[in-house]
Structure 1
Amino acid sequence: MSAMMTVAGLVASLLISPQAATGSPPDKVIIEVVVMNGTACPPGSAAVVVAPDNTSFTVTYRRAAESADVRRNCQISLRIHSPGFTYAIAEADHRGDLVLDNGVRAVLSANYYFQGMTSQTPVTQSFTGPFADAWELLDKPDIAHLVYLPCGEERNLSSTVDLRLSPGTPDPRKNFVTLDSTVFRFAWKSCLSRISR
């Protein structure tokens, strides 16, 4: 009896366990924007484009945040359809432009997580004026620390970007930050739907 239960448990685990994939899903990955809000990305202000080879997708913020407010943020929730495959985010590359007057400081932070699961530790970068250039905030966890969406579960991918300027009242004519785009790179695994005969 116990042997039968052991075999049954093994079969069940094989049916749902993610297996290392040799490449990206062959079919087109579909991504829906479920929620978008924040002063850096008002609803309807972003577009999502999936790379032809399904290795990554880019979120472009058409109405970038350009303000000297104390805080600008963007929260976006995405539903990613990839039948037969599960994924982790292997890299998140956030970019924009930044202009700071002498002595003004900017702190940029970002993180991402699956809805209902533990949030990733935010990555943070700071700049102090004078500064006038593009900025990049790269989040690339070690392969051993990648968090995969469990096979068979439907959870939205949430991303938060936070942009802060200090002191609290910098001159808006000389200080601003924009959030222009984020590139997310996938790490794929296949989900077995049946045991090969």
Structure 2
Amino acid sequence: MRYTTLLLLPTIALAAPAPLPVPQDKPSGHEVEITAVTYGGTGCPDRTVQGLLSDDRTTITLSFDQYTVQSGPNIPATERRKFCQLQLKLKYPSGFQYSVFGADYRGYASLEKDVTGTAQSTYYFSGQQNQVCVPTRCRLPQPQPAACSSPRNPSSPALTHLTQTVIPTTFKGPMEGNYLKHDEVDAGSTVWSPCGEQGMLNIKSEVRIVPFTAKGLNLLTVDTVDAKFSQKYYVQWQRCDGKTGGGSGGMPIGRPPVDLGRI
């Protein structure tokens, strides 16, 4: 009987069911694509913006042709502040949601002493309203907009259901040259696309120079000397919770090293 038992063991092992495949934490690259990019604003006239999704579907790069602010003698007030409102429609498999966890800014700045340039991006998904501010990585003095609630304040009503994230960036003169800045969203401030539908990602950016009364010529451009200005947004994916229609956790993909350039 002992011999018979030994012969049967391989048979039992072969008959055991194969393990179930482990669910993917993100959709395959070929399953995600940008199907439409719409935009408008003083900083992005028609046919001046291009959108590109990386092969691994973890970064969205936006390039601008005419996104420049300047101040100085005889410069109209309308040239001191520009904005651009974009909407990106992504196609991806059901059962996933995504969020933006960081952004790169590239451009050119020529600022006098005591002159400050600011660039601010707000991202949200269609139908969402509340927003939370994320301080810049540079730790430079930057007042938060009045409409924002602080992520450090646990009593903030926006923290109960985050729907927008604001990333402000500051450039302080004197400075001149190309810049590269990288900012990341705190984990507790991450905003995810809605489950059960294709989330329309809205990105509103604004660039300005203060004070408006600067004596010399000041320039903050989103069009570098040797290349177009670009904003690169880093995306992370997670599976939706089938019971609640939402998810938790998430897996950041390909976070880049922080490079603040000359700032």
Shorter-chain TM band: 0.7 to 0.9
Equivalent of 2:174, from 130, 141, 146?
Answer: 130
Match of 2:218 in 1: 175
Closer/same/farther in 2, CA of residues 189 and 159 from structure 1, 3 Å limit: same
| 8 A Cα contact 2:123 2:201, kept in partner | yes
3-state DSSP class of the match of 2:30?
A: coil
3-state DSSP class of the match of 1:152?
A: coil
Match of 1:16 in 2: none
2:126, 2:217 → 1: CA distance? Answer: 38
3-state DSSP class of the match of 1:27?
A: helix
CA offset digits 1:39-85 (Å, max 9, x no partner): 22112211111111111121111333253322111211111111233
| 8 A Cα contact 2:27 2:92, kept in partner | no
Match of 1:73 in 2: 83
Match of 2:184 in 1: 140
| 8 A Cα contact 1:106 1:126, kept in partner | yes
In the alignment, does 2:71 pair up with 1:22? no
Task: Write the letter of the residue equivalent to 1:177.
Answer: L
Q: CA deviation at 1:23?
A: 3.7
Closer/same/farther in 2, CA of residues 47 and 34 from structure 1, 3 Å limit: closer
User: Which structure 2 residue ranges, 5 or more long, are not aligned?
Assistant: 1-22, 72-78, 132-163, 223-228, 243-263
Match of 1:97 in 2: 108
Closer/same/farther in 2, CA of residues 39 and 192 from structure 1, 3 Å limit: same
Q: Which is higher, the Rg of structure 1 or of structure 2? A: 2
Closer/same/farther in 2, CA of residues 192 and 103 from structure 1, 3 Å limit: closer
1:142, 1:105 → 2: CA distance? Answer: 25
Match of 1:82 in 2: 92
2:233, 2:217 → 1: CA distance? Answer: 31
Task: Write the letter of the residue equivalent to 2:218.
Answer: N
Equivalent of 1:190, from 239, 252, 257?
Answer: 239
Closer/same/farther in 2, CA of residues 112 and 137 from structure 1, 3 Å limit: farther
2:170, 2:184 → 1: CA distance? Answer: 18
Task: Write the letter of the residue equivalent to 1:185.
Answer: Y
Q: TM-score, normalised by structure 1?
A: 0.75
How big is the alpha-carbon RMSD for the aligned residues of Structure 1 and Structure 2?
A: 2.5
Q: TM-score, normalised by structure 2?
A: 0.58
Q: Which structure dedicates a bigger proportion of its chain to strand?
A: 1
Most deviating of 86-95 and 120-129: 120-129
Task: Write the letter of the residue equivalent to 1:133.
Answer: G
1:110-125 aligned within 5 A: 110-117=121-128, 118-119=130-131, 120-125=164-169
Most deviating of 154-163 and 45-54: 154-163
1:24, 1:175 → 2: CA distance? Answer: 45
2:212, 2:185 → 1: CA distance? Answer: 32
Closer/same/farther in 2, CA of residues 106 and 169 from structure 1, 3 Å limit: same
The one of the two structures with greater contact order (alpha-carbon pairs below 8 A, sep at least 6) is: 1
- What is the percent sequence identity of the aligned residues? 28
1:26-45 aligned within 5 A: 26-45=29-48
| 8 A Cα contact 1:66 1:177, kept in partner | yes
Equivalent of 1:56, from 56, 59, 78?
Answer: 59
